Amino acid sequence: MTDELTDRDRAVLALEARSWRTAGAKEAAIREQLGLAPARYYQLLNGLLDRPAALAHDAVLVNRLRRVREQRRSRR
């Protein structure tokens, strides 16, 4: 299996890189733009964070999200 990003993978990363003004705006965008339930979106995003292709695509975003994930894990 090659570790290339699909169009959906890139769309997930692009959506995650945006800033959101209201609480429900991101969830609405996930449903409207990607056709995914928010829970599935976050599953896909979490998987992307461990992929070298995602890191190569947007290292700043992926590294920031990895740090946030590790902070959350260490609080548990």
- Summarize pLDDT for 18-55 with one digit per residue, the tens: 999 987 999 999 999 999 999 999 999 999 999 999 99
pTM: 0.88
CB atoms within 10 A of CB 26: 17
What is the spatial distance between Cα 22 and Cα 10, in angstroms, rounded to a whole number? 23
Q: Does residue 65 register a pLDDT over 80?
A: yes
CB 35 within 8 A of CB 3: no
**DSSP state string for 23-68:** TTHHHHHIIIII---HHHHHHHHHHHTT-HHHHHH-HHHHHHHHHH
> What number is the average pLDDT over the span 57-73?
96
